[in-house]
Amino acid sequence: MSITKASMLDTSALAPAAPWREHDNDSHGHVVQFYSEDRSLIETLGHFIGSALGAGDAAIVVATEAHRQGLAEELKARGVDVSSAIEQGRYVPLDAVETMAQIMLDGWPDETRFANHIGGVISRARLAAEQAKGSNGSLIIEPRVVAFGEMVALLWAEGKHPSAIRLEQLWNDLAKTHSFSLRCAYPMGGFHLQEHSEPFLKICTEHSAVIPGESYTSLKSEADRLRNISQLQQKAQALEAEIEQRKEAQESLRQREIDLRDAEQHAAMGKLAAVIAHEINNPLEVIANVFFMLRDHPSLDESARGLTRIAEEEISRVRHISNQTLAFYRESEKPISVSLNQVLDAVLDIYARPLKLHGIEVEKNYGSEREILAYPVEIRQVFVNLIGNALQAMPNGGLLRVGMHDSSETIQGSRRTGVRVNISDTGVGVPEKCRDRLFEPFVTTKAEKGTGLGLWVSRGIVQKLGGSIRFRSGKIGGKTRTSFSVFIPTGQDALESVS
């Protein structure tokens, strides 16, 4: 098959040679050049400044000392008589740092200072070129003024990106009253961060033309340049994907660190609490028994018996706290298969009297028969705590709903099947001020009547089973409803978390 000319791709218009040399003869315009090696900058500058000086025009260079020196040598090598151009006043090399000090005010490029200082330099250089041209006896043509500035690059390197962009704008403003062809240059290495993309584009838009780095401008053929562009596109694509991946990795690392810190904190507090609980449990038992015997002791009168009853009640509270804490930290028993229906019924039984006393209606809805793998004492404690809280939230009666159904949930990135138990009440609602800290130890709104350990302990137990516990509290149809939802994985998913 022969390829017709029309079907062949003409690439010359797609990747033109960067025509930076053409800008060297502009009489106006604001061109930015990016470069990797100083050598490359000096060479292009040598051509830009050299052409102007060679033609008897004026040139202003605001550069670092190293670049001014490099440029002076380059110009000499190109046969430019630098000294007499300086003497004539049409070549003005200025130090970038010193010049910057003159145009800045309170760390910001100042419009008036800039216009006066740089505007003055440009006018004087132009006049000098005019005079030199005149004294040469040549035909007087309006001389060009070319300028190179890298104060912007210094500002950029110092991280003062808005100042650099502002200074670019001041150059553009000056071009409205003075005619000159301006070249700026930035080392490409200064744009190595992703956050540089936006200011980089801004810099480009402040210029009438952009000269890419020498890795592009040095390419000789269209084919090479197209290859280069494709390669850059591929690199950009790969980098973008990599940045995304890194971000994700960083986020998951951060989350894991938080989880780990929480788990460590939890374990340490649990251990400490268990040790204390264990130590005080035995003497507590003894004291409780002593008060039990004292309660009906014949030697006590009615008021002394009253006092022992108060003491007994308080001791029973302390025993409750200590038992709760122990239940939370139980080390090496094996988890066994537990029927949640039975556990919930047993807990409702415990609370039967106070529920009735407070006029609380109970609505059960067991939609699942699944058994879970757990420590029976612990799982019972979870519902003792949750139903106990619901009860305390409804001192004037209400509706307690205890529901259970099959469910699934994504925990730590993996989907797990299991059962969900919902305990909901129509009580006072969870106060706004402690919503964020509800599961922290000692957070209570019940003054000395509460310990603030119930939810903390419950969450610890549920998390040990690979599950989760959440709550919702708010007004629905004018009624406050609070609902605690406990998810516990079952089957294979449970084995993985419990073992």
- Judge whether 49 and 146 are in contact, CB under 8 Å: yes
- Judge whether 148 and 90 are in contact, CB under 8 Å: no
Shortest spacing between CB 304 and Mg ion, in angstroms: 32
Total binding residues toward ligand ADP, as defined by CB under 6 A: 24
- Pairing relationship of beta strands 371-374 and 398-411 according to DSSP bridges: unpaired
- Judge whether 190 and 157 are in contact, CB under 8 Å: yes
Residues 386-445 within binding reach of ligand ADP (CB under 6 A): 389-390, 393, 425, 427-431, 434, 438, 443-445
Distance of CA 119 to the CA centre of its chain: 45
Is residue 270 part of the contact set for ligand ADP (CB under 6 A)?
Answer: no
End-to-end distance of the chain based on CA atoms, in angstroms?
69
C-alpha distance from residue 148 to each of 46, 47, 446, 451, 494 (Å): 11, 12, 75, 75, 71
Give the closest residue to 203 by CA, choosing from 165, 175, 172: 165
Secondary structure (3-state) at 12:
coil
Shortest spacing between CB 419 and ligand ADP, in angstroms: 20
Q: Which residue is nearest to ligand ADP (CB)?
A: 454
Shortest spacing between CB 483 and ligand ADP, in angstroms: 8
Is residue 344 part of the contact set for ligand ADP (CB under 6 A)?
Answer: no
Nearer to ligand ADP, 485 or 490 (CB): 485
Shortest spacing between CB 432 and Mg ion, in angstroms: 18
Binding window for ligand ADP (CB under 6 A); candidates: 257-265, 360-368, 384-392, 398-406: 384-392
- Contact with ligand ADP (CB under 6 A) among 455, 462, 469, 486: 455
> Which stretches of the chain bind Mg ion, using CB under 5 A?
389, 454
Is residue 451 part of the contact set for ligand ADP (CB under 6 A)?
Answer: yes
What does 228 interact with, of Mg ion, ligand ADP, none (CB < 5 to 8 A by kind)? none
Shortest spacing between CB 390 and Mg ion, in angstroms: 10
Nearer to ligand ADP, 212 or 427 (CB): 427
Is residue 99 part of the contact set for ligand ADP (CB under 6 A)?
Answer: no
Shortest spacing between CB 351 and ligand ADP, in angstroms: 13
Nearer to ligand ADP, 254 or 446 (CB): 446
Nearer to Mg ion, 389 or 468 (CB): 389
List strands edge to edge, sheet with 209-211. 91-95, 58-63, 145-149, 181-187, 30-35, 209-211
Is residue 119 part of the contact set for ligand ADP (CB under 6 A)?
Answer: no
Quote the CA–CA distance of 168 and 206 in Å, as a whole number.
Answer: 7
Shortest spacing between CB 375 and Mg ion, in angstroms: 20
- Judge whether 348 and 324 are in contact, CB under 8 Å: no
Beta-carbon count within 10 A of 411 CB: 17
Type of residue found at 411: I
* Angle in degrees, CA 61, 65, 70, rounded to 5: 75
Alpha helices in 413-453 (DSSP H): none
Q: Which residues bind ligand ADP (CB under 6 A)?
A: 385, 389-390, 393, 425, 427-431, 434, 438, 443-446, 450-456, 482
